[in-house]
Amino acid sequence: MRNVQSVLATGLALYLAMPAGLPGANHREAPITALDHKADITDVYAFVSYSGDQAAGTQPSKVTFILCVDPLLEPGNGPHYFPFDSNILYEIKIDNNHDAQEDIVFQFQFETEQRLPGIWQSYAGIGEGARAPANSPAPVQPGTLIVPPRITSFQSPGLGTRQAYRVGILKSGVVTPMTNPDGSPFYAVPANVGPRTMDYPALYKAGTYKLPNGVSVFAGTVDDAFWIDLGATFDTANFRTLGSGVPAVLTDEEDRATRNFASDSVSGFAVNAIAIEVPIEMLTSTGRREAASVPAATIGMWGATSRPRVTVRVSPDPLISDGAVRQVQRMGNPLVNELLIGTGSKDRFSMDQPKNDSQFAPFLLDPAIARVINALTGGVVAIPPAPRTDLLPLVTYAAPIAAPGTPAGPVADLLRLNTGVPATPLAQASRLGLIGGDPAGFPNGRRLYDDVTDIALRVVVGGVLVPGFNRFPNNRLGDGVNVDDTGYKSEFPYLGDCPSGRDRRHLDPGEPGGGPVQ
C-alpha cells in the first residue's frame, strides 16, 4: 500500500523536522463523522430533472445529483457561518456498467478568500451602506463608509468570506475541468445571514451556473431538504402516538396529508449542498439516452468526502495537506449507515468502497431495526423472516428499478436510478415513491420530497414488498413528518432557500406546527 510505504512516511518526516516540544494538534451516523462534521454527508439525491409544469411522460434529458454535507447548521450561528472545507474533496460518483465501481466522478474543491480581515464577522451589509455620522470622533471623518452596502452579488464588498470552487469530471483516469465560458470562478452561496445583511435569493440565483455543455452546477448553504422526527427515531424508536393510537402507525388521513403531525427536527436548520445537473448522454455507458427497458439506462451513484492522508499543523503556520486522500464518508441509499449498519462497523462502512459491501450483508439482509420495532410493538408489527431478499433492489441492480437483463452486480450501497423513467409531474408525485405507485420516486433514485423515513419504515421494517406484509399496520408505518418545512424550487438546483439567520424557526414538539410531545 502506497501510503504506509511512502506517503505517510514522507508526511511524518515533515513532523519530525519540527522542533521537539511543539504541541501536535489535530447528521453524525458514524463515530468518525460525529467527530468530523464538515465531511459528514447528510443526504444524497439523484433524480431525473423536472420543471414545475412538467407534462406526464416527458422524456428524460438530464439528471440532477445533490450531495449535502455538514448537518444541522443553525442559520443564526455567526459570525463565520458555514464555509465548505477547502481541505475536503467532495465527490459524486457514478457507476454506469453495474459493477459498483465508479466510471464517472464529479469532483468539487473549494478555496476560501477572506476579504474583510479587519472586521469581526464574515458578512456585513445594510441598504446603501452606513456612514459615520456628524459626531463621529476623530480620526474617522463624518461621511466615511463604516458598514458596506447590503450584499447583493459575489462582488459586494460586504461579502467578507468568499468561496470559489473548482469542478472536474474524472473519467478514465483523466480529470477534465469545467469552467464558466468567460473563465470566471464558480462561487458558493453563503448562509442566509439575514435580510439586512444580504439579498440571499439574489446570491442563490447568481450562484446557479448553467454551462454551455448542458451541465449546471450549484454549491451553497441552503435549507436542509431532509425532514424527520429525529429525536423520536433515535430515542430507541420512541415515535409519537398520533391518530391511530399506536406509535409510528399513521391513520389513512395522516398518511395522505401533505402536512406534518409530529416535529420536524430538521426544521429551520440549514445544510451545505453541492448540486450538479448533467445531460443523460454524459452518464450512460452507451453515451445515449436509453429507454427504461434497456439495462444501460440504470446507473448507480454515491457521494463521498475525502481528506488528505497527511495534514501538518504547526502553530501559527497554516496547515499543510498534501498527497493521496482517504475517504471519510460515503453515502448511497438514505438511512443505511444510520439505521442498518452496526456501530462497530460504521467507520469501516464509511471509509470502504461500495463494491466491498458484501461484508455488511448481514446488516442489510437481517436489519436490526426491524427486529427492534417488532419487539417494541409486542409483535403488532410483524416482520418477514431473514434473509430479507426483498431488500435486494436497494443493494443490487434489480427490478423494479433496473430493466430485466441488467447484471445485478455485487451487493453495494448505491442509489440506483433508471434514467429512462420520466419524472412524475409534481401534482401526481407521491412522497412514498415507488411504494406509493410513483415510478420516479425512491428507491428509483431519490427526490428531495421522497419521504425516505416512512418508506424505509414500511419497506425495511414492515416488509411491504414481501407478499402478505403489505397490510395494516405495516403499510402505515411513519414518523408523522410528511413534508419539509420550507419547500423546494421547481428547477435546478431545486433546494430551498437557507432560513434567515435572524428569523429562522425550529418547530419543536408541543408548539404549533410541532406536533405532540407524546
**Is residue 140 near other proteins by the rule CB under 8 A?**
no
Q: Report how far Cα 64 is from the mean position of its chain's Cα atoms.
A: 12
Nearer to other proteins, 10 or 180 (CB): 10
Pair 157, 146: CB distance under 8 Å: no
The residues, ordered by sequence, that sit 6+ positions from 108 with a Cβ below 8 Å of its Cβ are 89, 90, 91, 165, 166, 167, 219, 274
**Is residue 8 near other proteins by the rule CB under 8 A?**
yes
Cis peptide before 308 (omega within 30 of 0): no
Sheet containing 216-223: order of strands = 41-48, 62-73, 270-279, 216-223, 209-210
**Is residue 320 near other proteins by the rule CB under 8 A?**
no
CB of 373 to other proteins, least distance (A): 24
Q: What residues between 114 and 133 interact with other proteins by CB under 8 A?
A: none
Q: What is the number of other CB atoms lying within 10 angstroms of the CB of residue 138? A: 5
Question: How far is it, in rounded angstroms, from Cα 30 to Cα 365?
Answer: 20
Which residues are registered as beta bridge partners of 104? 94, 171
**Is residue 170 near other proteins by the rule CB under 8 A?**
no
Nearer to other proteins, 6 or 51 (CB): 6
Nearer to other proteins, 17 or 134 (CB): 17
**Is residue 358 near other proteins by the rule CB under 8 A?**
no
Nearer to other proteins, 3 or 58 (CB): 3
Q: Which of 105, 164, 292, 351 binds other proteins (CB under 8 A)?
A: 351
Q: Find cell 427486529 and name the residue.
A: 371
| Burial grade of 126 (CB within 10 A; 0-12, 13-18, 19 or more) | middle
Beta strands in 395-466 (DSSP E): 415-418
Amino acid identity for residue 246 in this structure: V
Q: Find cell 440549514 and name the residue.
A: 270
One character per residue 29-48, x = contact with other proteins (rule: CB under 8 A): --xx----------------
Stretch that binds other proteins, among 26-34, 94-102, 218-226, 457-465 (CB under 8 A): 26-34
- What is the length of the chain? 518
Give 52-70 as a DSSP string: TTPPTTPPP-EEEEEEEEE
Amino acid identity for residue 143 in this structure: G
CB of 359 to other proteins, least distance (A): 7
Q: Which of 97, 101, 345, 374 binds other proteins (CB under 8 A)?
A: 345
Nearer to other proteins, 41 or 225 (CB): 41
Q: Could you give the C-alpha distances from 86 to 56, 110, 414, in angstroms and in order?
A: 42, 5, 26
Task: Choose among 384, 393, 428, 430: nearest CA to 413.
Answer: 393
**Is residue 9 near other proteins by the rule CB under 8 A?**
yes
Task: Choose among 405, 409, 362, 407: nearest CA to 387.
Answer: 362
**Is residue 315 near other proteins by the rule CB under 8 A?**
no
Q: Find cell 463515530 and name the residue.
A: 31
Q: State the cell numbers at 144.
A: 466615511
Stretch that binds other proteins, among 329-337, 338-346, 381-389, 475-483 (CB under 8 A): 338-346
Nearer to other proteins, 89 or 398 (CB): 89
Q: Which of 127, 173, 344, 379 binds other proteins (CB under 8 A)?
A: 344
Q: Which of 27, 93, 150, 346 binds other proteins (CB under 8 A)?
A: 346
**Is residue 347 near other proteins by the rule CB under 8 A?**
yes
Q: Report how far Cα 100 is from the mean position of its chain's Cα atoms.
A: 20
CB of 10 to other proteins, least distance (A): 9
**Is residue 309 near other proteins by the rule CB under 8 A?**
yes
Q: Find cell 465501481 and name the residue.
A: 101
One character per residue 45-74, x = contact with other proteins (rule: CB under 8 A): ------------------------------
**Is residue 3 near other proteins by the rule CB under 8 A?**
yes
Q: Which of 59, 114, 213, 359 binds other proteins (CB under 8 A)?
A: 359
Q: Report how far Cα 397 is from the mean position of its chain's Cα atoms.
A: 22
CB of 330 to other proteins, least distance (A): 13
DSSP 498: P
**Is residue 28 near other proteins by the rule CB under 8 A?**
no
Task: Choose among 345, 266, 346: nearest CA to 27.
Answer: 266
CB of 84 to other proteins, least distance (A): 22
CB of 12 to other proteins, least distance (A): 4
Which residues are registered as beta bridge partners of 320? 312
Q: What is the number of other CB atoms lying within 10 angstroms of the CB of residue 232? A: 22
**Is residue 16 near other proteins by the rule CB under 8 A?**
yes
Nearer to other proteins, 350 or 482 (CB): 350
**Is residue 17 near other proteins by the rule CB under 8 A?**
no
Q: Which of 131, 348, 355, 489 binds other proteins (CB under 8 A)?
A: 348
Q: Which of 210, 326, 471, 505 binds other proteins (CB under 8 A)?
A: 326
CB of 100 to other proteins, least distance (A): 19
CB of 368 to other proteins, least distance (A): 14
Nearer to other proteins, 24 or 177 (CB): 24
Stretch that binds other proteins, among 118-126, 215-223, 346-354, 451-459 (CB under 8 A): 346-354
Give 207-225 as a DSSP string: T-EE-TTS-EEEEEEEE--
Pair 262, 229: CB distance under 8 Å: yes
Kindly list the residues in this chain that would bind other proteins in the complex (CB under 8 A): 1, 3-5, 8-9, 12-13, 15-16, 24, 26, 31-32, 309, 326-327, 343-348, 351, 359
